[in-house]
Amino acid sequence: MNIRINLSSEPFRRDRPWVVATTLLGIILMVSLVALSYLAIMHRDEDKEARAEVGKAQRQLNLLIQEQNRLESTLRRPENGEVIERSVFLNQLLRRKGISWTRIFSDLEKVTPYNVRLIQVRPQVNQHNEVYLEMVVGAQSSEPVIEMLMRLETSTEFGAVHLANSLPPSQSEPLFRYRINVNYAQKL
């Protein structure tokens, strides 16, 4: 028979692994605290520099806003209104003159079937400086015009096509007439 007797006042416990693990965890946490403190101090200096740069940029922006307001107040004067209207008119004329008629007709020649007659072409410039064409075309029947519309839609030089209206032949005009609006890829 085997009898176990413990004569000590406290029973034996295996606490050594727990003590070693908590000591290692404490050391790791202390190293992390030191590293994070160091990074916080470094970022504090960088934040000071960034705040100084933002302040400088804000002062420059305020100066530019003041200058813009001063110039706008000068432009709003009644005596300057006529000059502004004239410059807007001249800018529109220059924009229109920037459209190349040679290029328009060259690109239209690529997509227009031989039996479609180009009666009228009117280029327009919208507020985004994009060119679109208002055209009137004529043909003996509607099939060549439909073919032209399909060619316009598949062409890289032209964009969306809109058929505005059509007129049947009359005594004075023997052709079917179609008014077409199309986006044009020519840049100004």
- The pLDDT tens digits along the chain (188 residues) read 677 766 666 666 677 888 999 999 999 999 999 999 999 888 888 888 889 999 999 999 999 999 999 988 887 888 777 778 888 888 777 777 778 888 889 999 999 999 999 999 998 877 777 888 999 999 999 899 999 999 999 988 888 899 889 898 888 888 999 999 998 887 65
* Half-sphere exposure in the Cβ direction for 54 (13 Å, CA): 6
Q: Which residue has the tokens 């096509």?
A: 161
Domain boundaries defined on the chain: 14-76, 99-187
Distance CA 187, CA 40 (A): 53
Query: Residue 118, exposed/middle/buried by CB under 10 A (0-12, 13-18, 19+)?
Result: middle
Distance CA 148, CA 102 (A): 19
CATH topology of domain 99-187: Alpha-Beta Plaits (3.30.70)
Q: What is the pTM of this model?
A: 0.51
- Amino acid letter for position 85: E
Angle between helices 101-111 and 142-154 (to 10 degrees): 110
CA angle 112, 118, 121 (to 5 degrees): 110
